[in-house]
A = this chain, B = another copy of it.
Amino acid sequence: MARTASLSGFPEWLPEERLVELHVLDTLRRVFELHGFSSIETRAVETVGQLLRKGEIDKEVYGLSRLQEDEGEAKGKADPHALALHFDLTVPFARYVVENAGYLAFPFRRYQIQKVWRGERPQEGRAREFTQADIDVVGDGDLPFRYDVEIALVIAEALSALPIPDFRLRINNRKLAEGFYRGIGLDDTAGVLRSIDKLEKIGPAKVAELLKSELGATDDQAQKALQLAGIRTEDTSFVAQVRALGVSNDLLDEGLSELEQVIDAAVQRAPGKVVADLSIARGLDYYTGTVVETVLVGHEQLGSICSGGRYDALASKGNRKFPGVGLSIGVTRLVSRILSQDLARASRSVPTAVLVALTHDDSWDAAQDVAAQLRSRGIPTEVAAKAEKFGKQIKFADRRGIPFVWFTDDDGTHQVKDIRTGEQVVAAPETWTPPAEDLAVQVSTAAEPAAAAV
């Protein structure tokens, strides 16, 4: 199944692969709805002005133009009214909330599962078209911090329900980091975050150099910032470790308390799934408190499979602010990995559980009656199109993984054959039902390949 997309960066799945993706999407939807999140979709396009509203973005954006448009009509890249494809679901959601504020009940909790596009260089885990599954809660004016805790728990539950390897949510808090930097006298906190964000790529020595050369940090300041970023605990002991660094600042205290609440709840409700990781920075983005990245254990080089955090200032309407907190699962990144490493598989390639065979070409109508009776009881059923030899009709089912073939004799006797075992029994179309595990396609985890230790 090692096919290459015919257009680099635009993956397409075969039907049996799509069944794995559908299983992932259905599972996420089920968990999100169990937690009361409402589905919405936003249009695929935004105005360029909207996409660039928060200033420079590091995402490659696809602009749109009508092929048949008149020359004079063509809009320049700089035109803020020109249309472009969205590169995430958070910016469009913020726009949607502001536009529809009068129709929504706040705090508003929604999930959104859609494709997004980025014109970046494709590589494993990075496509140009990919599906994201987001949950967010947005408040009107304020939003209790408890939603930060809840969002992390919902995502841990959702990821646990997927056929994927073990994962870790790595959580930090911008207030904690920024308060700490201020406490040691580094006031360009955005600059420090940008440098710390490079830690995994370039290592601590080079980050220290950057802090000194670009931000004028002293040796001691650089070392303190690196010590903070080195803290990683599976429980709330990070608090004592930060305190031991001897820095005091009000914002730091607030951030410590917030992160402690998240980790404390996670230790109880999602044990082993969440770590406090004080190196997490989340680059340029609009986050103001909690920040999250997620790795698959043993697949760390794939990058984060679920990211997000708290944003207090992304959406506003005049004086009215809509603070939010949300996380975004990279569905295509996960599904690509599941498929390329054969981590899960569909039990058959089609929804069909029963093929109704044709004895004669003119028995199609009677076969449709049988099929209609089976379908009325929820059994996915196809009817053969031609009265080929039974061997050929059975092969038709076998190639697709359809487990049962139905035969109707000339005397009206019905029989159904399990083509995997060869067992054939007399059956009535009004009552016969396949075993539950054969009714719908099952997606099951294959034996997991040896994963690296945590």
Contact = CB atoms under 8 A, between A and B. Distances in A.
Interface of A: 1, 3, 6-7, 10-15, 18-19, 22, 33-45, 47-48, 60-69, 77, 83-85, 95-96, 99-100, 103-105, 107, 109-110, 115, 117, 119, 129, 144, 146-147, 150, 153, 265, 268-269, 349-352, 364-365, 368, 372, 375, 378-383, 385-386, 396, 399-400
Main secondary structure of the interface of A (DSSP, over half): mixed
A40 B68 contact: no
Given A6-B99, A99-B6, A385-B146, A13 B36 contact: no
Contacts of A117: 44
A393 to B, nearest CB: 13
A418 to B, nearest CB: 18
A374 to B, nearest CB: 9
B63 A66 contact: yes
A372 B31 CA distance: 11
B400 A105 contact: yes
Given A35-B381, A67-B62, A380-B36, A44 B129 contact: yes
Given A7-B45, A119-B68, A150 B13 contact: no
A40 B100 CA distance: 33
A178 B35 CA distance: 58
B14 A103 contact: yes
Contacts of A66: 60-63, 119
Nearest to A361: B146
Nearest to A103: B14
A105 B349 contact: yes
Given A350-B38, A375-B35, A43 B385 contact: no
